[in-house]
Amino acid sequence: SFFYKIAIYLLFVVLISAILSHKMAGPVYRFEQTCKAIAKGDFSQRVHLRQGDQLTELQDEFNKMMDRVEAEIKKK
């Protein structure tokens, strides 16, 4: 009985960890891919996160920054 409770608790912890990890790892991966595309010269790239993901405020600021960078490049 004690071991079943421990197993259920560990399963619960692993499940919650996976969910939280996914909400952080996904956005970080999207930022990484967007930055790689920008580094190759595609300044039209923007980060698009799913609703409920972490880092949405960073996404908004990053995209505003890229809007300004792209506008400055087009001026020249």
CB-count burial class (<10 Å; 0-12, 13-18, 19+) for 47: buried
Dist. CA 64–CA 4, nearest whole Å: 51
In this predicted structure, what is the pLDDT of residue 20?
86
Secondary structure of the chain in HEC code, one letter for each residue: CHHHHHHHHHHHHHHHHHHHHHHHHHHHHHHHHHHHHHHCCCCCCCCCCCCCCCCHHHHHHHHHHHHHHHHHHHHC
Q: What is the pLDDT of residues 19-73, one digit of tens each?
A: 888 888 899 999 999 999 999 999 999 999 988 888 999 999 999 999 999 999 9
pTM greater than 0.85 (yes/no):
no
In this predicted structure, what is the pLDDT of residue 72?
93
In this predicted structure, what is the pLDDT of residue 70?
94
